[in-house]
Amino acid sequence: MRSRADSLRIAFWLLIMLGVIWAGIYLVQRNFQSPDIRRDHAINCYNRWGTAALGELLNRQGLRVATWRQRLTGLGRQHQALVVLSPSRHFASREIAHLLDWIEGGGVLLVAPSRHTLLGSFIVGTETLPPVQQILGPLGLMVRREGDLAGKAVGATDSPLLRDVATLYVPSHLRLETAGPKALAEAYPEAAESDSLKQYLRPQLEPESFTVLATRAHSCTVGMVSYGKGWVLILGEADMLGNYWINQQDNAVLALNFAYLSGAQTVYFDEYHHGLTFVSIAGQEALASGTWRVLLMALAALGLFFLGQMVRFGAPVPLQRQTRRSAREFVRALAQLYMQAGARNSALQIIGGAVKRQVAAAARISLSRSGPEPDNYRLAQRCAELNPSVNAATLGSLLDRLDAAAQPDQRLTNAEFVRLSRAATAMEKELPKRATD
């Protein structure tokens, strides 16, 4: 039958194994490098799709660039400007609600889809709603594909965002358009039938809040949405700010105008929603829920419990010398053996000899092995003189009884043997190891 310690050990290692597997999955989905370019719009990435050049441009203008590596629910009033480029990881509903409240309170957002992430990020199967549409849907916008591909876009208004901007370069066929609930439902029919996804297909703003900033072949490529005290700049393609395209036409000027008009000293770039992921929209909702946090706390508590059961927090103290039993324990054991063998007299002779040697040591009298033994009375008297706690008469009587019982012609009963043995043991306890001064 398996012991309790074995069961705890097995459960503990199973918990460790599950933790390692989960950590491996997390690291893979956060850092997995592949030909897929969905992660390459990162602010610290120097390939053609990355935005490191934009970050350096903002730094040269005296602005600070920081990465945002948590859910959008962490946005506060101290954060004024956020850039979300080509998100490949889906948002939780609480994130979108908090993002809209943050914009309404005065936050400024730049968001841009990408032709590489419009099919979603769920690695097992394609989701029915791209991550960027979770933001654009409540703003009353959607992304569509045009036959006309990359090329120049021209300004369509005199907005401050287009100051010193003559033309912009759009590197893909994606375009923006306003869309009501019906148009969004037709564009994403499966999401419209889902109770959890159709909330992203319900515009919360009036169409008049959207302003077309730049067009190509009469199709919107750059737009702006005013919402409360804040506003949102929407690009038709995230690659407009990529390292390869940022210097083409006036794309860099548009990015700088956004940063200046936001009034922010620090521009945050969302990196939390970049990279490949194994989690669907439903999974993101579960991970963002309070139930998941409680489960993590329970798993942590369980791990600490098993750790406490398995780890010894104290080390054994090594003995300085070999343990040794007392002479009294040896005498008792030997007496027990003699009694079992019927040799009570020999046992009492050994017990009496041990007591007499202890009395002689306490009385400071040397016992001669070859000469005559000292008188019991003299021994007891001398021991009592040096040790006031010892009664001379009681000690002398005990020594006489032990000597008499040790004679071969004596026939002791078990009761008498036990009484003498106990009396000798009690006297040994009272006698000091050596005489006191």
Q: Is 258 exposed, middle or buried (0-12, 13-18, 19+ CB in 10 A)?
A: buried
Rg of the chain (C-alpha set): 46
Predicted confidence (pLDDT) per residue in 266-301, tens digit: 999 999 988 766 666 766 666 666 665 666 666 666
Confidence of residue 437 (pLDDT cuts 50, 70, 90): very low
Strand 64-68 vs strand 167-170: parallel, antiparallel, or unpaired? unpaired
pLDDT of 34 above 90 = no
Predicted confidence (pLDDT) per residue in 217-230, tens digit: 899 999 999 999 99
Full DSSP string of 178-193: E--HHHHHHHSHHHHT
Nearest to 64 by CA among 260, 262, 271, 267: 267
CA angle, residues 280, 281, 284, in degrees to nearest 5:
90
Helix or strand or coil: residue 272?
coil
| Interatomic CA distance for residues 118 and 140, integer angstroms | 17
Q: What is the mean pLDDT of residues 50-64?
A: 95
Q: Are 85 and 243 in contact (CB under 8 A)?
A: no
Full DSSP string of 118-165: TT--BSSS--SS-TTHHHHTTTTEEEEE-SS-SEEEEE-S--GGGTT-
Task: Give Cα 172 distance to the centre of its chain.
Answer: 43
pLDDT of 32 above 80 = no
Q: What is the mean pLDDT of residues 245-261?
A: 96
Instruction: Name 3's Cβ contacts closer than 8 Å, sequence gap at least 6.
Output: none
Q: Are 95 and 200 in contact (CB under 8 A)?
A: no
Predicted confidence (pLDDT) per residue in 105-117, tens digit: 999 999 999 988 7
Q: Going by CATH, does the domain composed of 20-302 fall within 3.40.50.880?
A: yes
Domains in the chain: boundaries:
20-302, 327-430
Higher pLDDT, 366 or 436: 366
Instruction: Name 69's Cβ contacts closer than 8 Å, sequence gap at least 6.
Output: 271, 272
pLDDT of 28 above 60 = no
Most confident of 10-14, 86-90, 217-221, 411-415: 217-221
Kind and range of the H or E element at 267?
strand 266-270
